[in-house]
Amino acid sequence: MDPRPSPRLLRHPVHLVSLGFGSGLSPVAPGTAGTLAAWLLYAPLRAPFSETVFLFLLLAGFLAGIPAAQYTGRILGVADHGAIVWDEMVATWLVLFFVPATLIWQAIAVALFRLFDILKPPPIRQADRHFKNGFGVMFDDLLAAVYTLLTLAILARLCSLLPGA
């Protein structure tokens, strides 16, 4: 495991974002901590914006995350350091955007996203190995979000086929 970065890094705005406002400094499962922080922040971040504006903000968050993750990774000496969780946060917000705003659907979405992010099924694993830079840090989580959304769409379809649904 990579050594934990110093909380002093949070004084720099780029690291503050890359480290998920401190959630990535969790000594246990920083990616999960970043994902849970994103889930907690989703409703207040989403509420003031139209769907279109929010999607543009997600795109901006993804694009800004590329140089931010690359810079923080360079400072930490590991391109995809576990403490860099902005990628999990943006991907979680994308998934939650497309999920019904109920606790059960959001919980399933967050759990599936973490599963795909951890297991890295193809082509996520290949992307993770191939791109060792800020783009790679952000891109593999975007792919995990796509897997999550496809799985949720299948699950929703199957649920609609159940009697009484």
Per-residue pLDDT of the chain (165 residues; tens, 9 = 90+): 567 788 888 899 999 999 999 999 999 999 999 999 999 999 999 999 999 999 999 999 999 999 999 999 999 999 899 999 999 999 999 999 999 999 999 999 999 999 999 999 999 888 888 888 999 999 999 999 999 999 999 999 998 877 765
What pLDDT does residue 16 have?
95
Q: What is the DSSP letter of 82?
A: T
What pLDDT does residue 130 have?
84
In a domain, residue 2? The reply is no
Q: Where are the alpha helices (DSSP H) in the chain?
A: 13-18, 30-46, 51-76, 86-97, 103-119, 124-130, 134-161
What pLDDT does residue 45 have?
97
Residues 6+ apart with CB under 8 A from 33: 20, 23, 24, 26, 85
Angle made by CA atoms 122, 148, 3, in degrees to the nearest 5: 70
In a domain, residue 73? The reply is yes
In a domain, residue 41? The reply is yes
Tokens 């939650």, residue located: 96
The predicted model scores a pTM of 0.93
In a domain, residue 1? The reply is no
In a domain, residue 43? The reply is yes
Q: What is the largest CA-CA distance in the chain?
A: 56
In a domain, residue 12? The reply is yes
Overall domain count for the chain: 1
What pLDDT does residue 165 have?
56
Residue 67 sits in which domain range? 7-161
What pLDDT does residue 2 have?
61
Instruction: Quote the CA–CA distance of 111 and 148 in Å, as a whole number.
Output: 9
